[in-house]
């Protein structure tokens, strides 16, 4: 039996395709065990009014989803997954906070690193599921973004080339920039 969703756990963030779009999602790094123990010691189930509430986290790549459950009546509630405009490209499990996993992968791609370095970094930081970056997660997210990155790069290179030729040949009266273009 599920109870009404907790408004403090709901996630209203939506990632869309626009680079300037900002998500409502906020990130934090917490020690799971300490947070879970603190929650269990200080929270009573709102459904049965006597059971202790346990906090656990489900992991998918770098991201996690909080889950509350009562140790007496077995009622549970799970945080919402972050919605993304990439839904058509991902399986259900991979949808779990796809934005965070995607940004993590793009940060490593941007500095020339790959899945091995990403996995090492996560292992060093004691992040659960560090090995997922070494397997399927990194490669599939990199592939999903590569065509868009190539298109943006091509557009910028072309625009820069046109501007450079226009500025360089501006003093040459015999050169027809529009014809060249």
| Phi, psi dihedral angles at 54 (to 5 degrees) | -105, 135
pTM higher than 0.75:
no
Torsion of CA 67, 21, 106, 120, to 10 degrees: -30
Closest alpha carbon to 102 in 134, 63, 130, 147 = 63
- Read off the pLDDT of residues 160-169 as tens digits, 9 standing for 90 and up: 998 888 888 8
pLDDT at 26: 66
| Residue pair 144/86 in contact by the 8 Å Cβ criterion | yes
Domain spans of the chain, in order of start: 31-80
- Read off the pLDDT of residues 49-105 as tens digits, 9 standing for 90 and up: 888 888 887 766 676 778 888 888 888 888 766 555 555 555 544 455 667 777 888
């Amino acid at each position: 039996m599920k109870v009404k969703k907790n408004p403090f756990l709901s996630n209203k963030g939506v990632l869309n395709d626009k680079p300037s779009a900002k998500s409502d999602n906020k990130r934090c790094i917490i020690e799971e065990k300490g947070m879970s123990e603190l929650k269990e010691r200080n929270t009573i189930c709102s459904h049965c009014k006597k059971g202790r509430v346990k906090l656990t986290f489900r992991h998918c790549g770098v991201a996690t989803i909080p889950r509350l459950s009562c140790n007496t009546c077995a009622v549970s509630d799970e945080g919402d997954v972050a919605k993304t405009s990439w839904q058509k490209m991902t399986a259900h499990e991979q949808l779990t906070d796809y934005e965070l996993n995607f940004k993590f992968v793009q940060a490593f791609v941007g500095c020339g690193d790959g899945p091995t370095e990403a996995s090492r970094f996560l292992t060093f930081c004691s992040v659960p599921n560090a090995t997922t970056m070494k397997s399927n997660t990194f490669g599939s997210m990199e592939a999903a973004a590569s065509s868009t990155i190539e298109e943006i790069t091509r557009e910028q290179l072309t625009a820069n080339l046109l501007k450079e030729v226009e500025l360089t040949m501006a003093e040459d009266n015999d050169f027809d920039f529009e014809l060249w273009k």
